[in-house]
Structure 1
Amino acid sequence: MPHEFVAAEEWDDKHILRSGDILFARSGATVGKTYLHTAGLDPAVFAGYCIRFRMGKDVLPSYVYGFTKTNAYASWVAAIQRPAGQPNINKEEFKSLEIPVPPIDVQRRLVAELDVARAERDRALAEAERLLGSIDQHVCRLLGLPDVPPPTQAAYAIRLGLAKQSATLSADYFHPERMTALRAIRQLSNAPLGQLVSFERQLVATPGSQRYIGLASVASHTGQLTDAVESAAGQCFAFEPQDVLYGRLRPYLNKVWLAAFAGVCSTEFHVMRVRDGSALLPAYLAVVMRTQLIVAQTKHMMTGNTHPRLANEDVVNLLIPLADMPTQQRIVDQATACQLEAARLRAHAETVWQQARERFEQQLLQGATA
């Protein structure tokens, strides 16, 4: 059947969000999640899997939104959602949600307390992101690399003869961003990745009792493991401590992990083992593989449309900047310090926010009136 479309100028109030509107996700993996619309983001419309509510004059939208961050609300969502097909809660069920409504001045005080905690959480998370983002700068500074500005041109052209140098006959292989990164690295001692590591592809039929690492298990850009618990029923690659796992699917996601233990992983990882540990630290390789110097290469080397990957024949040609062992160690130490401080800040942010939500809920349960 043909789809119906609504032109922007034909939107009416049933499509438009106003400041103070609250959206409730009614289906799917995000069922129960909420969003409070605020001024400054107009005009805006909402997705069909959301239900919009507008509050009456006796309740603050920000207070209701704060309530949806409590354990009481999470328990209600878990109890009321229907798992048939996919989790869902309908409009009438959301209407049945009972929310304690203290006097308006108490609502304002509770919201203000949450706002203070949210601001502290956001500051800590922003500082954590800044620290992790600074690792690239530390690597370039310690290696003596110049700044590599992003390309500014909207289009570029290359000669057909140059394009034929690529096995894929891809003009993107010679994108100015990739060429700029390669020129910067060539100012230093360097080597193709294939000369530095062996690619371990030891297949294991099933994970069994071994720890399984999937792509969702590795955070983008940070080299840290996430809380995701994944499993696999089919073949996996085995890996050892100090192996470097590099995500081949959508390499711009920048999933690189230095293995801290032995286990098995998705076959969407390249498992790399340093050939000569006396000349190249695995931890240094992991740090460098996460830098924009490498991403600027890989994002223009991947093949495939729906699931772009870095092919086995291309990953070996990644150009890696090298350094003496003391410099490698300084880079590893600096990156480790940034990662540890970022982890501390993130833990602090989570604690602050969790305590604020618990205090919000406790005061409601105790009938806060002052």
Structure 2
Amino acid sequence: MVPLSEGPKKFFRLSPDEREALGGFAVHRGAIEERLDVNYHSPEYVTPLLQLEAAFPDIRPLSAYAVVTCGPFGSAIKSDDYRASGIPLIRISDIEEDGTIDPRSIVFIDEDLSMKHASSQVRPGDIVISQRGTIGLPAVVPTTFPLWHISANLIAVKNPEVSLDYVRDYLGSTFAQAHFARRNSGQIQSKITTSDVASLPFPLVENASALSALLEVARAARDSGLAAAERALNGLDAFILDELGVNLPPPHDDTPFAISRASLRNGGKIFPNYYNPDRRHAVAELRRIGADFLDSVVHFVREQRTISADDQTYVGLANVRSNTGEYVDADDDVGGTVAVFAKGDVLFAKLRPYLNKVWVSDRAGVCSPEFHVLRLRADGPIESP
């Protein structure tokens, strides 16, 4: 083996496997094109694209088969513009991994505002692609509404001249993702541009529809597995209660309930939910089995500061899925005061807790102050006196 310190000429004489073992790669000066950054010339991204060009010598860019346009300028549509009806706005957080749009989280904007940025309008049969965060995530615009609008963090592929399913599936392929990863120009957050999508090498194949049909069968099998997992997840509460030996009574059916004035004095609260029979029964049952307060096992970390350009991870409420605790990319307003968290901390949303947004952090970062930051006590649980 020849270390890099002995010079690039000796490194070029090594085999590709030997270069990989050294944890590096070399590029001839004549092979450098467009950009000088290491990521752009990484074999991880270049090799699939060279294989694609070898298989399709006459390959053309995506822009030869569709119109590629960007979303509106970043401040053109703000969260203050969201409405309960109007023109539906597609955001990154609305895109599912299976290439569909989640209808449950759709927001709307006024028709006049949409017409003001008409170039960012899309229709059923068009495709949208995420350009920030998780870059290159594609989705087909559904038929639910005749007209849609895209956010600033999306790029649209309009009026494709080839199979819609094939375009969507190819955008999620290894070759397309290598192209997008290679052209990532983000510093703090990953980013691709409209020209990056328009220049994507796009191969035409005779059996495009058949390939998409096979992928659809695979997706159906995956969806079936996910549905089974969801059913198992829904039974988790019953499993935990059984393991703890907690026996909750049937839910309180009658909406009205009454409490004594003494209970009101002892509770120190005046809002109804605090005295709801279901909550009171649950608390009594937890006390029966010896459950302690949460702060006996965790610290409530309250380290806050102003967000910085150096902060690479920001977690807002939109980044955490309800019930499942999954982290997702989302268009969320970032600015002002943030809370600091460490890897392994638990983020629990204190705003609208019924949404059940809980995330176990796999990295350090900052989050919305609408989260409680919980950190396990290093010395273990504190025993009640």
Return the structure number with greater relative CO, CA threshold 8 A, min gap 6.
1
TM-score by length of 1: 0.46
TM-score by length of 2: 0.44
